[in-house]
Amino acid sequence: MRQLSDPELIAPPVGLYVHMPWCIQKCPYCDFNSHSLRSDLPETVYIEALALDLEQEKTRLGSRQITSLFIGGGTPSLFSARSIAQLLQHIQQTVSCSSTMEITLEANPGTVEYAKFHGYFEAGINRLSIGIQSFCDSQLKQLGRIHDSQSAIKAIDAAHYAGFDNFNTDLMFGLPGQTIQSAVNDVQQAIALNPSHISHYQLTLEPETPFYYSQPVLPIDDDIWAMQLACSELLIDNGYRQYEVSAWAKDERRCQHNENYWKFGDYIGIGAGAHGKLTQTTTQQITRCWKQKNPRQYMHSLQVSQAFDGASTIEKEDRAFEFMMNQLRLKDGFQIDQFSQRTGLTIDTLEPVLSSCIKNNLLFRSKNQIGSTELGWRYLDTILEQFLPV
């Protein structure tokens, strides 16, 4: 319930996430909701299910306009350009979309060639995110990838030729047996191929993945830190700017869709296991919902009723932590006004932790802006723990 003294929740921009839950084969480090394709891709049925899912979401969305679209997975590039065109057409007919919105599709180099990228471009996709991980063949093998470095380079060339001037390449570092030099070589090779965006993720051993149960030998922490420093230097020297823990953009071509998540914006999610978050200004509530995770169950549930698997409200006492968990990932931090508008709380809610972190040079506050200092950036988890509700 909103108290009279509480700031009013104001609806933030809303993105649309579409989840495609299949891959040719499952990588041993990955805990995304993705499943190895054991038979033919149920392409038509799934695209129809997504359309039904969106129809149901439309009621909750009302007249709000979608400001970004992200087709992720899994491996969305398993889907033909025709299916993606159908999906985009349906989205544009069903909900109001900004005419200039960023439309990203995730692609795996083992599933694409020029004609497919060209088809996606013609369909209206204006940004690609290509999962490269590494340009070292032995490393790619160890990661269980379905492609080698040559096909990764070919995929990036094909993206350029197809007309994409805005695309991301995903790289991982801290890989099994990786040296500092080989991590640097990966970034060097990516830069040479001129993507507008590079995501540089440290490999994490996620619970319930094959890498977790049978752990590969990873570089020692000091070497991982040295990799991060050396790669950052290289990226900076080549005109990339880090705007989030793992995200680097050239010419300010940030991923608008992901940036909206990190700014505690709203999103609806369609597809197996997709999550959504919506701010309801009439009830002054922020709700989350999620869809059936298993692709078969998801498609079946949509035919008989609804794809919802659950929903919850983000209670007031959890909002400050959730906001900070996202926003502090961004180099520039956040505006104080936005904290109030997106959480319905006054900035004093962050006290006394905020003042203590500022005193210890972990956070900065200038006029209307709060964010992590260089020191704080290294200890993000420690800062965040302090904002956990008691």
Ligand X SMILES: C[S@@+](CC[C@H](N)C(=O)[O-])C[C@H]1O[C@@H](n2cnc3c(N)ncnc32)[C@H](O)[C@@H]1O
Q: In angstroms, give the least distance from the CB of 47 to ligand X.
A: 19
245 token code pair:
């823990």
Strand order, beta sheet including 285-291: 240-244, 247-250, 197-202, 167-173, 127-133, 97-107, 66-73, 14-20, 266-270, 275-280, 285-291, 308-313
Half-sphere exposure of 192 (CA within 13 A, CB side): 9
Cα–Cα distance, 324 to 305 (Å, whole number): 36
Q: Which stretch binds ligand X (CB under 6 A): 29-37, 183-191, 296-304, 315-323?
A: 29-37
Number of H helices, E strands in the chain: 15, 17
**Nearest residue (CB) to ligand X, 258 versus 343:** 258
Which of ligand SF4, ligand X, none has residue 26 at its interface (CB below 5 to 8 Å by kind)? ligand SF4
Q: In angstroms, give the least distance from the CB of 334 to ligand SF4.
A: 30
Position 139 contacts ligand X (CB under 6 A):
no
Q: In angstroms, give the least distance from the CB of 187 to ligand SF4.
A: 19
Q: In angstroms, give the least distance from the CB of 204 to ligand X.
A: 4
**Nearest residue (CB) to ligand X, 168 versus 349:** 168
Q: In angstroms, give the least distance from the CB of 124 to ligand SF4.
A: 23
Region of residue 354 (left: phi > 0; alpha: psi -120 to 50; beta: else): alpha
Peptide bond into 62 cis (omega under 30): no
Position 343 contacts ligand X (CB under 6 A):
no
Residues that bind ligand SF4 (CB under 6 A): 23, 26-27, 30, 32, 34, 73-75, 108, 131
Q: Which stretch binds ligand X (CB under 6 A): 70-78, 82-90, 290-298, 352-360?
A: 70-78
Candidate residues 103, 172, 193, 274; the one interacting with ligand X per rule CB under 6 A: 172
CA 134 from chain centre, in angstroms, equals: 19
- Closest residue to ligand X using C-beta atoms: 131
Cα angle, residue 298 at apex, residues 295 and 301 outer, rounded to 5°: 150
Position 18 contacts ligand X (CB under 6 A):
no
**Nearest residue (CB) to ligand X, 201 versus 377:** 201
Q: Which stretch binds ligand X (CB under 6 A): 201-209, 296-304, 330-338, 344-352?
A: 201-209
Position 33 contacts ligand X (CB under 6 A):
no
- Nearest Cα residue to 339 out of 351, 352, 350, 355: 350
* SS3 category, 353: helix
Q: Which residues bind ligand X (CB under 6 A)?
A: 29-30, 32, 72-73, 75, 106, 108, 131, 133, 170, 172, 201, 203-204, 206
